[in-house]
Amino acid sequence: MHDADVRFGSLRAFVCFLRSQWQQQQQQQPLPDPHYLYRTDVITAPNGPLRREAYDDLNLGLVWLAPTEASVRWLECSLASWDHVAFHRVPSDPRVGGSYYERSQPRMIHILEESVAHGVLPVRVCTFPKPLLSQYAHATNLASPSEKLHKLGIELEQSEPPSSSSLSPVNVFAASAECSHASLKPLPCPSRSGSGSGSGDVEEGGGLCGSRGGRAIESAARRAAVRFISRTTSVAFRPTGAFPSEMLALVGALELLHVTHLFESGTATGVSTEMLASYFSSDSPHSSNPSTSASSHPLRIITIDHGKLYGVGQNNETRARLARFAHVECVLADSLVEIPRRLRLLPPDARAAVYVDGPKGYAGMRLALDSLRHPRVVLVGLHDAAPFWDQKLHASLRQHEEHLLLTSDPPFRQAYAGLDEAAKVGSLLSAASSSRTGGASGTKGLEALLRYGNGLWLAGRSKLVEGPPVHLALAVDTRGIGGCVALIRSTLAATVERSRLIFHVLVLASERVAIDRSVRRGVSEEELAGAKVEVIPLPPSPLPSSSSPTPLESARLRLPELLPLSVRKLLYVDTDTLLLADPTPIVDAAFEGEHITSAIGVARRSKPLVKSLNLSSRVLEEVGLTALPHHAWSFNAGVMLMNLDVWRSEGLMRGVLQLADRLGAAGFRGLPGMSTSTDSQSAIALFLQNSTKPAIQEIPPAWNVDGLGWKVDQLRPEALCSARILHWSGQYKPWMRPTSGESARSQHLRALWRMFSGGSRRITR
């Protein structure tokens, strides 16, 4: 996008550069941890030094946006905080010049600086290269069209179009400060006929770009990234070891295929073994982040080495260092003999993988492919497969019919090389020049290593399966059908693997046909992309009474009995919400490790629960709330992870409904500002907080930014801009007719909701 008062000396140079950026990024998926988002969201122009106005360091008269979550959120938050206090006109303020503070540019830069300062999904921004900007003029700060035309005419009359190869690297910066760790190098510009440039770069047809299995592995690696980072930062990289990014790819494949036994050929110094063992260790450290909880399945690691290359001393040191892992077995033997022997001893239900880090070259490839013929081997990997080690071997691996992924391919390196940089791989390799041999020797060898990595080749004979289904549940009547459609569509828009999603829509039996038809009309098959929507009629309540929650309010309590036993956990969401982030990572990680016995996962509120009750000690005892601690906290159950295994085994549905009846009989009419006498929210909170054992897993507050239906103008901009779920809890719903005094913030948020609702075909009071 560019302003009207600009002129390009060479539009082809800009198009070439932007095409190269798109080619670099179109296959990338962001890592869950914002600290490791090594990609570009925005490319724009600098605004020069000594700017008088605040929030004016960038010139958004020329800007390119990548279709990433961060860039989309940047635009959304700029609209949502348009009336921020920073832009209230103060005539005496010398910073305010003309109409500058009425424009979008300072507001967008304000959000950019705030996101960087607070570490909330910071937008990764870089500036266009200086040679490219020399072919561009912007007639800013001039009032009349004639002045603008005159400036644009004289500034470019002597310019010459630069060649694409002269474009310099662009350094990513945050808040106008350049960083050296994520430079971008433009690709050669394609010829006018559309053919390649013939630059000799490794082809990009395989790996992430050309293999469905490779894309599935990359998605699994992305899901595993936060835990991998948290568990392997203490593992010291050694120049002879595998790169962290390569081990993350292997971890993703092992998780994806539910491998039970991993055979590693070539222990060496044990770097890769230690990273794998740390990730799959069951003694997960305490963390408030559910994404760092234990791995989804146990893995036994058998690492084999003949001990001749590094000597007995190194072998003993490695074995001693790995002895702390109970699931790791170090074997001194010849892998060519030991691995076939071990494979013959596998139990019938085993799913094995063989990772070959020695022998190298064709001998290693033969060991890997021979192992893949075993009926219980689902995955093999060969290390040191980058093109600079052996171009012919590299080409053979890429063309193999069972090829899945090569970590040396540009898309994977661009997405995950940040892990290697964080481990200081470059400096350690540079300092250990004497240990680098073959294609990795010398300055050119180091450059090749840092460009491609060692290269890990992954191949699989068995069909790769996607991750397990991710279940979401909601309850709706015909009045809220617009909210149902908006919720489903926003979730689909935010989800990478849509085919994993299953929406369970709970409805009154009398409204099933109408709601099913409305959902099918509002959400297209193209949008679903394999996701499923099931409309489930609610049967009569098992414990009907005048004080019981209404059928729709109690619907979430009945999910354990309505859904099959195979549905073990899910995310329940009210229909007055929008999901702005992929829910699969938080659902995948829920109720693992120390939280395996928790019944629900919710965002904590600062409001104390006991003080809001207004019930005497005698009444609390009569209704059975004898174990309710004074420090118990409240929560909004409109966004709630549910551990259905625990709900079923402990009969929680009946317990919550019985408590609701007792509370109603005692005159309880709900928690002030939180619930009513006929909903289930109070009963859920009181029942689970009354438990003698921890029953609640706390999730980040960004997963339920509520109150948009009654206090939207009181919410902090930081909360709105970090929101993963926006929740219109309260009387006002986004599908209702707007009030006469609706604030600008409320209008912007409702416009966002309307975008997903399809224009809100149904408007109700």
- List, as one string, the DSSP characters of 127-188: EPPHHHHTTEEE-TT--SHHHHHHHHHHHSTT--PPPGGGPPPB-EEETTEE-SS--B-PPP
* pTM exceeds 0.95 for this model: no
State whether 345 and 486 are in the same domain: no
Question: Is 201 part of a structural domain of the chain?
Answer: no
Indicate if 413 and 485 belong to the same structural domain. Answer: no
Q: What is the pLDDT of residue 131?
A: 76
Structural domain boundaries, residue 325:
211-459
Cβ atoms 711, 625 nearer than 8 A: no
Q: What is the predicted pLDDT for the residue at 184?
A: 31
477 and 453 in one domain?
no
> Do residues 274 and 402 share a domain?
yes
**163 Cβ contact partners less than 8 Å away, ≥ 6 residues apart:** none
Token pair in block for residue 89: 């006109």
Task: Assess if residue 281 is contained within a domain.
Answer: yes
Domain final residue, candidates 435, 459, 483: 459
Considering only CA atoms, which of 728, 734, 735, 736 is closest in space to residue 711? Answer: 728
Ranges of residues in the chain with a pLDDT under 50 are: 26-38, 90-96, 156-210, 284-296, 463-465, 760-765
Res 98: pLDDT: 53
Evaluate whether residue 664 is within a structural domain.
Answer: no
351 domain-assigned: yes
| CATH code of the domain covering residue 574 | 3.90.550.10
Contact, 615 vs 666, CB < 8 A? yes
Domain edge (last residue) among 431, 459, 487? 459
Six-digit token string for 133:
């900007």
Are 506 and 450 members of one domain?
Answer: no
Q: What angle do CA 662, 665, 667 make, to 5 degrees?
A: 115
In this structure, are residues 306 and 265 in contact, taking their beta carbons and an 8 Å threshold? no
Shared domain for 218 and 359, answered yes or no, is yes
The total number of structural domains that make up the chain:
3
Q: Is residue 127 part of a domain?
A: yes
DSSP label at residue 705:
B
Measure Cα distances from 426 to 263, 407, 440, 751 in Å: 29, 17, 12, 47
Could you tell me the CATH number of the domain that includes residue 376?
Answer: 3.40.50.150
- Whether 330 and 223 map to the same domain: the answer is yes
Quote the pLDDT of residue 504.
Answer: 98
* Last residue within a domain, chosen from 412, 438, 459: 459
Asked if residues 359 and 367 have their Cβ atoms less than 8 Å apart, the reply is yes
When computed from its CA atoms, the radius of gyration of the chain, rounded to whole angstroms, is 29
The answer to whether the CB of 372 falls within 8 A of the CB of 355 is: no
Domain identity same for 527 and 571: yes
Distance CA 612, CA 672 (A): 7
Residue 421 domain-assigned (yes or no):
yes
Residues 155 and 10 in one domain: yes
User: What pLDDT score does 213 carry?
Assistant: 72
Give a yes or no: residue 236 inside a domain. yes
For residue range 603-620, list pLDDT tens digits in order: 998 777 777 777 778 888
Same structural domain, 231 and 281: yes
From 711, 714, 551, 570, select the one nearest 646 (Cα to Cα).
Answer: 570
Tell whether 220 and 156 lie within a shared domain: no
Interatomic CA distance for residues 12 and 458, integer angstroms: 39
Assess whether 516 and 396 both reside in one domain. Answer: no
Query: What angle is formed at CA 279 by the lines to CA 276 and CA 280, rounded to 5 degrees?
Result: 85
Contact of 132 with 14, CB cutoff 8 Å: yes
Instruction: Evaluate whether residue 186 is within a structural domain.
Output: no
Residue 318, classed as helix, strand or coil, is helix
Tokens 């980040």 correspond to 700
Distances 731 to 249, 727, 752 between C-alpha atoms, Å: 48, 12, 19
The SS3 of residue 30 is coil
Structure token pair of residue 573: 């969401």
